[in-house]
Amino acid sequence: MRFCRALCVAALLLSAPVAYAAQPKPSVDEFVPMEEVPASEQIPAINLVAAAYGFVWVVVVGYVWSLGRRLQKAESEIADLERRAAR
Amino acid sequence: MSRLNQIELALAGLMLAAAPWIINAAPYESTMGLVQKIFYFHMPSAWLFLIAAIIAGVASAIFLFGKKKNADGWALAAAELAVLFGVITLVTGPLWARKAWGIWWVWDARLTSSLILWMIFVAYLLLRRYGGPGSDKLGAGMALFGLANVPFIFVSVNVWRTLHPQTSVVPTLPVQMGGPLWYCVFALLLLFLALLSMRARLERQRVRIEDLYLAEDEA
């Protein structure tokens, strides 16, 4: 009987750290105040500003280039079809 | 590409190239510091995203109910620009939020509804590209759904609790911040108008190509 009681107490004591470890960690997409973000996870503001400005340029230049190519292709196709129709 | 479009593009390009110097001259926002400078691109892009969605929706309504074929070309052009300015808004916003809020994204009303609007127009373009005959009318219906989403996005920050700043921020900006903002708005608006006109022209050319092929088949 004493052995069983000791076993129950030991099981209870051991379950505490297991239960603590099994607790859900705070979700990474929850709001974390800036002061609490570890230094290793903080990104310098200049990198973010440069990335935003660079992204705008890449997207705009890419779209203008793509649109210019499509316009050129359509114009040459129209010229070709009109030439064929004139014959 | 017309002469006017070339001038518009060159002017917008020069203005955007000079923008970092003008933005740099604006004072730092007291709590966010340097990262707040993203605002000068993020907010005009967000406005143009919504304007493009309104143009696409209104042109689609004219096409559907007014039976004006030409309006469909303008709707398609505006839908493509909604995707373009939408991606700029949805990428520059999280870059700013990471520093200002400590997270890249939050599923609040403003951000989620903006993402939904962007996805509506991505779906619209996919439908127009791969939908086959009848996709113009189905697409017009989708663009109307996009248009209905615009007022919801605009008022979302004033109605629901959110981390995103409210619409009252712009009218209360000091002149030193308002000047660079309106400069960026004008540069991106110029770019928007040039691209809209070029994209609509491409659609008119595609209609012309179809007519020429039909005439060739009949001959």
Q: Which of A31, A37, A49 sits opposite B37 (nearest CB)?
A: A49
**How confident is the model over B187-214, as pLDDT tens digits?**
999 999 999 999 999 999 999 999 899 8
pLDDT band at B219 (very low <50, low <70, confident <90, very high): confident
Please give the residue of chain B at the shortest CA–CA distance from A43.
Answer: B99
Helices marked H in A1-87: 2-22, 45-86
What's the mean pLDDT in B77-100? Answer: 94
For chain A, the structural domain boundaries read 56-87
Q: Which residues of B touch A49 (CB under 8 A)?
A: 34-35, 37-38, 95
Residue B29, strand partner residues: B33
Q: For residue A18, what pLDDT is reported? A: 63
Q: Which of A32, A45, A84 sits opposite B34 (nearest CB)?
A: A45
In this model, does residue B66 exceed pLDDT 60?
yes
Q: For residue B82, what pLDDT is reported? A: 97
Do B32 and B100 contact (CB within 8 A), yes or no? yes
ipTM of the complex: 0.90
SS (H, E, C) chain B: CCHHHHHHHHHHHHHHHHHHHHHHHCCCECCCEHHHHHHHHHHHHHHHHHHHHHHHHHHHHHHHHHCCHHHHHHHHHHHHHHHHHHHHHHHHHHHHHHHHCCCCCCCCHHHHHHHHHHHHHHHHHHHHHHCCCCHHHHHHHHHHHHHHHHHHHHHHHHHCCCCCCCCCCHHHCCHHHHHHHHHHHHHHHHHHHHHHHHHHHHHHHHHHHHHHHHHHHHC
B191 lies within 8 A of chain A by CB: yes
Distances from the Cα of A15 to the Cα of A18, A26, B79, angstroms: 5, 21, 59
Helices marked H in A30-44: none
CA-CA-CA-CA dihedral for B20, B184, B193, B155, to nearest 10: 140
Q: Which of A52, A60, A85 sits opposite B212 (nearest CB)?
A: A85
A10 Cα to chain B: minimum distance (Å):
43
Q: For residue B46, what pLDDT is reported? A: 95
**How confident is the model over A12-62, as pLDDT tens digits?**
666 766 666 666 555 555 666 666 666 666 678 888 999 999 999 999 999
A25 Cα to chain B: minimum distance (Å):
17
Please give the residue of chain B at the shortest CA–CA distance from A28.
Answer: B103
Which sign does the torsion angle of CA B41, B46, B51, B56 carry? positive
Q: Which residues of A touch B201 (CB under 8 A)?
A: 71
**How confident is the model over B120-155, as pLDDT tens digits?**
999 999 999 999 888 999 999 999 999 999 999 999
